[in-house]
Amino acid sequence: MHRTSRERPALVCTYGQVKLASLILLDMLVKRYHIYYSGDFDPEGLAIADKLKNRYGKNLTLWRYGIGGDYNKSMSKEKINNSRIKAQEFEEQRIDWHR
């Protein structure tokens, strides 16, 4: 995403898991605009990015998800426990991400 003094892109913050209201808003926006998505480099954030990319395809760009600088800068020493992985699997079953 480039910077320009003439364009002022809107910012939408969904805060955590994407809820139905956010999906409805993004469904409307993607009809006229290209979406740039940035999220966390943890299992939940990567799952959200994957689902949104599958939903919106070429109309969505994963922003700040480069392996080199972005990923390496976000590395944590925190171990991901099984309960977080299981919770993510449950969340995936709960929401129909495809239109």
Per-residue pLDDT of the chain (99 residues; tens, 9 = 90+): 555 566 677 788 888 888 899 999 999 999 999 999 888 877 788 889 999 999 999 999 988 776 666 656 666 667 767 777 677 665 555 555 555
The residue type at 11: L
99 vs 33, 49, 92, CA distance in Å? Answer: 18, 16, 15
Helix or strand run (H / E) with residue 23: helix 20-29
